[in-house]
Structure 1
Amino acid sequence: MDINALSRIGGVQPQIQTKTYTPDEVSTSFSAYLSDALNQVNQAQVESANLADKFAMGQVQDVHQVMIAGQKASVMLQMTMQVRNKVIESYQEIMRMPL
């Protein structure tokens, strides 16, 4: 086996095309992402409340389903609050920076 023959083969250079985004596109996509995330949190809260109401009326027999929906909504809300806190903290840190 001739190892030197392999060294003569040129390396494959991947063609990476990077798209540059305008600040307007970035802010629009970030805004859409945040709106979608908040809508998902709200949907989880509504679903949890509906399941709890149905369980109280006796329409749902599976308590596991109700508890899982409640915990899912709770975790999603806690994560949202932590992200909000970090965003506010970052903003305050930027405002403290000298120009």
Structure 2
Amino acid sequence: MDINALSQISPIRTQSMQNLQTPAEVTKGFSAFLTDALNQVNQAQVDSANMADRFAAGNVEIHQVTIASQKASVMLDLTMQVRNKVIESYQEIMRMSI
């Protein structure tokens, strides 16, 4: 096997130096991501409540209400689990001695 042939391979570049984001831009992007995710959870809760109201009026079937309700429930449960893990991580970091 020719080792010199391996030296001719160029390194893989994931990002060029021009595309690097500042910490403020990354934080802003992460904040926007979290805000969007929470808005989606809220919208699922609102849709579930609206679907239940429409069912009471006789406009939708029970399976549609059940699906919307379960979807909203799973999204809320996931959000709460992520929140709990973030809080646990924060508490663990605060307990570390410097």
TM-score by length of 2: 0.83
Quote the residue 1:16 is aligned against: 13
What is the percent sequence identity of the aligned residues?
66
Rounded to whole Å, the distance in 1 between the matches of 2:92 and 2:74 is: 27
Using the TM superposition, give the Cα deviation of residue 16 of structure 1 relative to its aligned residue in structure 2, in angstroms.
Answer: 1.9
The residue aligned with 1:40 is 40
In structure 1, the residue matched to 2:56 is 56
> Counterpart of 2:13 in structure 1: which amino acid?
I
Name the SS of the counterpart of 1:48 in structure 2: helix
Q: How many residues align?
A: 93
After TM superposition, the structure 1 stretch with the greater mean CA deviation from structure 2, 75-84 or 13-22, is: 13-22
Which residue of 2 is the match for residue 70 of structure 1? 69
Letter in 2 for 1:41: V
| In structure 2, distance between residues paired with 1:54 and 1:43 | 16
* 2: CA distance, partners of 1:14 / 1:53: 59
Q: TM-score, normalised by structure 1?
A: 0.83
**Where do residues 71-90 of structure 1 align in structure 2 (5 Å cutoff)?**
71-90=70-89
* CA distance 1:11–1:55, change in 2 (3 Å): farther
Shift of 1:14: 6.2
Over aligned residue pairs, what C-alpha RMSD do you find? 2.2
Q: Aligned with 1:90: secondary structure?
A: helix
Higher-Rg member (1/2): 1
Runs of 4+ in 1 over 3 A off after TM superposition: 10-15
- For structure 1, the residue ranges without an aligned partner over 5 or more in a row are 1-7
